[in-house]
Amino acid sequence: MEEPDNPRTSPSGHTIGAVEATLLAWYGTAARDLPWRKTRNPYAILVSEVMLQQTQVERVVPRYERWLRRWATATALADAPAADVIVEWQGLGYNRRALSLHRAAQHVRDEGWPEDLTRLPGVGPYTAAALGNFAFGEDVLPRDVNVERVERRTGHAFTARAAQALMDLGATVCLARVPRCGHCPLASECPSLGTRDEPLRRQSRFEGSFRQRRGATLRLVVERTRWEDELDSDAVASLAGDGLVIVCEGVVRLPS
């Protein structure tokens, strides 16, 4: 049976200020058309949030839609073999997220949605806040890097109602390195007009990294069961430690 779309009660709304009203009016015409914004089903929103943790929106959209066609409910995903989940995740990167999502679905199947959403595997404070807001109507503002940037630059505190608008403004207009202030609806009220952020740290190279070796090794095991001595031993040990592969008598395979 499919899980209810919104099993919790939404809180009463709050009065918003002029800056937030301007932002929401902009969002009414400039909002990105994203499929997870068309539902309040907590499972569907959890899938989107886990996929979006470290993957660009453009890559997530088709994979999110394919995932939900295959596993439309938390119960359907929970009942699937872990191997199938890992295979379906290929190409999204950071494969531990697949197992966390699978385990979260099993928790929901067995115990329902917890009051404290961080009890779900792979769900930290931000993802819990996003679920609380977008699925359960809670009065909480999920703060990702885009939301934090807009709040810091404008010096304005926004309500939970503005979450999606803040995310879109930060992702498409109030960019870190090259802000598009000429297109910003809040420019006239922004004390940081034209401010550019310096990168906090240089992102490590993927090419030649251990993460690349792990991904390449996992793809080989996804193709078929392998002998351990065919593979990168350090990558196999790391993957096994995360539960992404099983090593038994010299054979490496996906978990069942």
Per-residue pLDDT at 202: 63
Q: Give the Cα separation of 54 and 142 in Å (integer).
A: 16
- Pairwise CA distance, residues 36 & 48, whole Å: 7
Cα-Cα end-to-end distance for the chain? 24
CATH topology of domain 18-189: Endonuclease III; domain 1 (1.10.340)
Q: E strands along the chain, which residues?
A: 226-227, 246-248, 251-253
For the chain, 256 residues long, give each residue's pLDDT as a single digit of tens.
344 444 443 333 455 689 999 999 999 999 999 999 999 999 999 999 999 998 999 999 999 999 999 999 999 999 999 999 999 999 999 999 999 999 999 999 999 999 999 999 999 999 999 999 999 999 999 999 999 999 999 999 999 999 999 999 999 999 999 999 999 999 998 999 988 987 766 666 777 788 899 999 999 999 999 999 999 999 999 999 999 999 999 999 999 8
User: CA distances (Å), 240 to each of 29, 61, 186, 233, in order?
Assistant: 48, 29, 49, 10
Per-domain residue ranges of the chain: 18-189, 210-253
The residues, ordered by sequence, that sit 6+ positions from 47 with a Cβ below 8 Å of its Cβ are 36, 64, 67, 68, 101
Residue positions annotated with a catalytic role:
49
- pLDDT of 205: 76
DSSP single-letter state for residue 62: H
